[in-house]
Structure 1
């Protein structure tokens, strides 16, 4: 049982780190880089990213972070008093909130961008960009912060697990 607990904690930390890094990369490079380009470029690039990101590797990290964190929590529940439960609960809560931000803000904005159609046919690309870029980037910062906090909580849980707390 201890091997399963440790393996789930490691898997949760790795997958959460991948998702946190993805969101961080968007926050510090992709969106600031796009901010310096024209409206049509922002729309076209984000439309392409939104298609490209839907792949098995992304799903492994995105869904895996949730499943492995939930599994780690479930496997540690029988060990009352180990001290690992509070950071695991905190990590799971942070990630569920981040997933909520994704589902309520980022995905709907991605869908609106897709429905705008091919960039060459958009009559007012500046309006499409204004409706998308700022709200999407702000929501992404929240996802980044929440996932980074979750990684910190998972690292804390790993430490406590190793201490036999």
Structure 2
């Protein structure tokens, strides 16, 4: 279920892996963005492969997958940014951008995630990020579609939202 954010979520600044500041608009222009909090030592880590496949299939049509490493869930992203980037590239062939580590929940949550968490999932639930690999699709029109961690990146509902979000 889509939920339009009151503030333009695409223009909320955050840090890239190299420490520079950027936004979703800066990374994707007017394309759709699939924002995912990621972790290297999680049972859901194989979703990197499906995320990379989405980037490969839909990148030319305007989709940008963006990973945000997060160590808030049982310490499953303990490495340095260099270690994380190397792991993503060598283990999963990740070519999409991976940003600087963030907190997604709590009082120190990154502003982007504070805004994203206002979006409801298909069941109408909003609130804290449940676990690693929660997915937020920000469409060209600024709608946010939320998918819980267990929903695989290539699930029919995700593909349908991407297709509609790129139209």
Tell me the TM-score normalized by structure 2.
Answer: 0.22
Which is bigger in relative contact order (C-alpha 8 A, separation at least 6)? Answer: 1
Structure label with greater radius of gyration: 1
Task: Calculate the TM-score normalised by the size of structure 1.
Answer: 0.22
The structure whose residues are more often strand, as a share, is 2
